[in-house]
């Protein structure tokens, strides 16, 4: 598990992500379709990185990417009760996002990857691998955020400080958190062990999708 991967979860919304840990995708989709705002927020948090990663590949500006994201979520909101297989939601989001990116970019702004086809409903073989990577990245991100949210507040603060760039010295961490310098290393190891043992993260490690 890399420091870069963990740094992206350092500012996690603890309440929302803790709810995600107890709600598999099927239940989240069903709850969101029933009007559960917390479940909807978890879906947005979990799959937002997937949408943004696709927007970046199309070289969209920040404003255009925001518009694409809003359009995608609005479409999902209108289709939640029609989704027969919640497990297919990431692929549906990727397809709709690509369609919106193509619409937003227009003929004067071709996507960065030359192999993209114009019909966003059809993924060429070489792009299937890219889509899989994007979905896996979103899955890793969501799992790490959930695991980070499950740490005690003291552990979250310590990990966040350890991952700051530029690095923060142990002496400064000791002063900020009011803990002995000698306890920082052992506490860090315990936190990392808890992250690795978190069910969603452990499953990705077992599958070879996260380094130990």
Confidence band (pLDDT; 50, 70, 90) for 174?
A: very high
In this prediction, residue 134 carries a pLDDT of 63
Query: Model pTM?
Result: 0.48
Asked whether residue 162 is assigned to any structural domain, the reply reads yes
Asked whether residue 116 is assigned to any structural domain, the reply reads yes
Judge whether 97 and 68 are in contact, CB under 8 Å. yes
- Highest mean pLDDT of the ranges 47-51, 111-115, 169-173: 169-173
Using the predicted structure, report yes or no on whether residue 164 has a pLDDT greater than 50.
yes
Q: Distance between terminal CA atoms of the chain?
A: 5
State how many domains the chain has: 1
pLDDT (mean) for 153-177: 92
Asked whether residue 211 is assigned to any structural domain, the reply reads no
Asked whether residue 53 is assigned to any structural domain, the reply reads yes
Asked whether residue 115 is assigned to any structural domain, the reply reads yes
In this prediction, residue 136 carries a pLDDT of 66
C-alpha–C-alpha distance, residues 170 and 150, integer Å: 24
Asked whether residue 76 is assigned to any structural domain, the reply reads yes
pLDDT (mean) for 90-110: 79
The tokens for 4 are 């870069």
**DSSP one-letter string for 52-83:** HHHHHHTT--HHHHHHHHHHHHHHHHHHGGG-
Using the predicted structure, report yes or no on whether residue 189 has a pLDDT greater than 50.
yes
Using the predicted structure, report yes or no on whether residue 67 has a pLDDT greater than 90.
yes
Q: Which residue has the tokens 């990857």?
A: 113
C-alpha–C-alpha distance, residues 140 and 198, integer Å: 12
In this prediction, residue 115 carries a pLDDT of 36
Expressed as residue numbers, the domain containing 86 is: 3-206
Judge whether 86 and 47 are in contact, CB under 8 Å. no
Judge whether 42 and 73 are in contact, CB under 8 Å. no
Average pLDDT, the chain: 76
**At 130, phi and psi to the nearest 5?**
-65, -45
**In this predicted model, what pLDDT tens digit does every residue of 15-64 receive, in sequence order?**
444 444 444 678 888 889 899 999 898 888 888 888 888 888 888 888 99
The tokens for 44 are 């947005």
């Amino acid at each position: 598990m890399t420091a870069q991967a963990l740094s992206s979860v350092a500012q996690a919304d603890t309440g929302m992500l803790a709810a995600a840990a107890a709600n598999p995708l099927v239940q989240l989709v069903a709850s969101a379709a029933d009007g559960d705002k917390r479940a909807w927020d978890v879906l947005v948090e979990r799959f937002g990185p997937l949408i943004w990663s696709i927007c970046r590949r199309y070289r969209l500006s920040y404003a255009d990417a925001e518009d694409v994201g809003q359009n995608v979520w609005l479409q999902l909101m209108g289709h939640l009760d029609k989704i027969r297989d919640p497990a297919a939601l990431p692929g549906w989001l990727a397809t709709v996002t690509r369609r919106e990116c193509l619409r937003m970019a227009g003929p004067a702004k071709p996507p960065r990857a030359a192999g993209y086809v114009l019909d966003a409903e059809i993924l060429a073989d070489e792009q299937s691998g890219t889509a899989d990577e994007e979905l896996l990245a979103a899955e890793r991100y969501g799992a790490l955020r959930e695991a980070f949210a499950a740490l005690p507040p003291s552990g979250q603060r310590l990990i966040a400080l350890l991952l700051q760039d530029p690095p923060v010295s142990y002496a400064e961490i000791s002063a900020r958190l009011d803990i002995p310098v000698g306890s920082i290393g052992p506490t860090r190891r315990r936190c990392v062990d808890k992250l690795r043992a978190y069910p969603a993260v452990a499953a990705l490690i077992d599958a070879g999708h996260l380094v130990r």
